[in-house]
Structure 1
Amino acid sequence: MIRLLVVTVLAMASLSVQAGGLLVLGDSISAAYGIEKSAGWVALLEKELEQRCRDFPVINASVSGETTAGGNSRLEALLDTHSPDIVIIELGGNDGLRGLSPVAMANNLTQMIEKSRAANATPVLLGMRIPPNYGQQYTRLFEQQFRQVSDDKQVPLFPFFLEGVVEQGWLQKDGIHPTEEAQPLLKRHAVSVLEPVLPAQCGNGKGDEDV
C-alpha cells in the first residue's frame, strides 16, 4: 500500500513537471492544412522554443474549420489538462468566412482571454481579415473586433496574421490556406508578439526584462 502511494505521488510529480508551456488554439492555418504538420508554423515555433527554452512544451490544439465559439467551448478542458503558461488564440477566420456575427466573435475572444487568465495563463491574439467581397461594412466591423478586444483586455495582438502571405503569392490553390513557403513568416509573426511574454527560461522573454 505504501509502495503504491509512493508510485502515485511520483507520477503526480512527473505530471506537474510537464505542466506549463504554450497552448495554440487555432484553426486550419495553425493545424497546417494541406501541408505536412512538421512544416507548419506551430511545428517551426516548437523547434525554436526547444532550442531557446527549458521544459517549455508546445501543445497544438488547433482544429481545421474551428470558429471562436468552438474554441471557446474547448478551452476550459484544454487549460485543465495542460495548465499552459501562454495561450495563443488564432481564431476568427472561419467566423468571417461563414458570415457570423463579428460582435459574437468578439465576445468569444473576450471569454477565451478571461478563461486563460483565470487559469494563470497569458493570452496572445493573432488577428485575421477577410476578403472584401463580404461587403465593406462587414469586413471593417470584423477587422475592428480584434483591435477592440486587444485594447479592452490589454492583450498582445498581431493584427493580420497572414500579412505578407498574399503579397508573396504563398497561398494554396484554394486561395485561403498558406503554403509551406509561408510558414517561416507566420512563425516570425507569432514570435513578434510572443517575445515580450515568454518566460525567463526562453532567454529574451519578460523574465530578462525584470532582472
Structure 2
Amino acid sequence: MIRLLLVAILTMAALSVQARGLLVLGDSISAAYGIEKSAGWVALLEKELEQRCRDFPVINASVSGETTAGGNSRLVALLEKHAPQILIIELGGNDGLRGLSPIAMGNNLAQMIEKSRAADATPILLGMRIPPNYGPQYTRLFEQQFRQVSDDKQVPLFPFFLEGVVEQGWMQKDGIHPTAAAQPLLKAHASSVLEPLLPEQCGEATGGDSV
C-alpha cells in the first residue's frame, strides 16, 4: 500500500513538472482550409516543436467559420481537457466578414484572455484586418480592437496575421484563404510572438523560418 502511494506521488510530481503544450484556437486560416492539413502553419509549427521540445504537444482546436463568440463558448472545455501552457487565439476574421460588432468581438477576445489566465495558460493574439469595402469607420474600429485588447490585457500581439501574404499573391481563388506557399510565413509570424514564451526545454530557434 505504501509502495503504491509512493508511486502515485512520484507520478503526479513528474507530471506536474512537464510542460503542458500549446493550444491553437483559430478559424479556417489555422484549420488549413483548402490545403493539406500537414501543410498548414499549425502543422509546420508542431513539426518544428517536436524536434526542439520535449513533451510539449501542439493541439489545434481551430474550426472553419469560427467567430470569437464561438471560440469563447468552447474555450473553457478546451482548457479543462488539454491544460495548455500557452494559448494562441487566431479569431476575429469571421466576425468582420459577417459584419458583426467589433466591440462585441473585442469583449469576446478579452474574455478568452481572462479565461486562459484563470486556467494558468499564457495567451497570445494574432490580429486580423478586413477588406476596405466594409467602410472606413467599421474597418478602423475592427482593427483597433486587437490593439486595444492587447494593450489593456498586456497580451503579445501580431497585428496582422496575413501580413505579406496578399502582396506575394499567396491567396486561394476565394481571395480569403492563404495557399500552402504562405504557411511558412504564417508560422514565422506566429513564432515571432510565441518564441519568448516557450519553455526552456525548447532551446533556441535556429535557422530559416524556424520558431
Same fold (TM over 0.5): yes
User: CA shift at 1:91, angstroms?
Assistant: 0.1
User: CA shift at 1:204, angstroms?
Assistant: 3.5
User: Helix, strand or coil for the counterpart of 1:155?
Assistant: coil
In 2: Cα distance, 1:131 partner to 1:161 partner: 14
In 2: Cα distance, 1:13 partner to 1:44 partner: 31
Contact 1:198 1:204 in 2 (8 A): no
User: Helix, strand or coil for the counterpart of 2:89?
Assistant: strand
In 2: Cα distance, 1:46 partner to 1:198 partner: 13
Deviations 1:76-126 (A, max 9, x none): 000000000000000000000000000000000000000000111100000
User: CA shift at 1:35, angstroms?
Assistant: 0.3
Residue 120 (structure 1) aligned with residue 101 (structure 2): no
User: Helix, strand or coil for the counterpart of 1:125?
Assistant: strand
Taking the TM superposition and a 5 Å limit, the aligned residue runs for 1:1-211 are 16=15, 20-204=20-204
More helix by share: 1
Structure 1 length normalisation: TM-score? 0.90
Residue segments in structure 2 that go unaligned for 5+ positions in a row: 206-211
| Aligned amino acid, residue 204 of structure 1 | E
Contact 1:19 1:82 in 2 (8 A): no
Deviations 1:105-162 (A, max 9, x none): 0000000000000111100000000000000000000000000000000000000000
| Aligned amino acid, residue 127 of structure 1 | G
Q: Give the 3 Å change call, closer, same or farther, for CA 58–136 of structure 1 in structure 2.
A: same
Between Structure 1 and Structure 2, how many residues are aligned? 200
Residue segments in structure 1 that go unaligned for 5+ positions in a row: 206-211
User: CA shift at 1:193, angstroms?
Assistant: 0.4
Q: Give the 3 Å change call, closer, same or farther, for CA 165–15 of structure 1 in structure 2.
A: farther
In 1: Cα distance, 2:95 partner to 2:135 partner: 15
User: CA shift at 1:199, angstroms?
Assistant: 1.0
Contact 2:19 2:199 in 1 (8 A): no
| Aligned amino acid, residue 153 of structure 1 | K
| Aligned amino acid, residue 75 of structure 1 | L
Q: Give the 3 Å change call, closer, same or farther, for CA 195–112 of structure 1 in structure 2.
A: same
| Percent of matched pairs sharing the same residue | 84
Contact 1:89 1:126 in 2 (8 A): yes
User: CA shift at 1:14, angstroms?
Assistant: 11
Q: Give the 3 Å change call, closer, same or farther, for CA 139–66 of structure 1 in structure 2.
A: same
Structure 2 length normalisation: TM-score? 0.90
Give the RMSD, CA atoms, in angstroms: 2.1
Contact 1:125 1:150 in 2 (8 A): yes
User: Helix, strand or coil for the counterpart of 2:178?
Assistant: coil
User: CA shift at 1:202, angstroms?
Assistant: 1.1
In 1: Cα distance, 2:31 partner to 2:117 partner: 24
User: Which region of structure 1 is more displaced relative to structure 2, 107-116 or 19-28?
Assistant: 19-28
In 2: Cα distance, 1:77 partner to 1:146 partner: 24
Q: Give the 3 Å change call, closer, same or farther, for CA 146–51 of structure 1 in structure 2.
A: same
Detail structure 1 runs of 4+ shifted over 3 Å in the superposition: 12-19
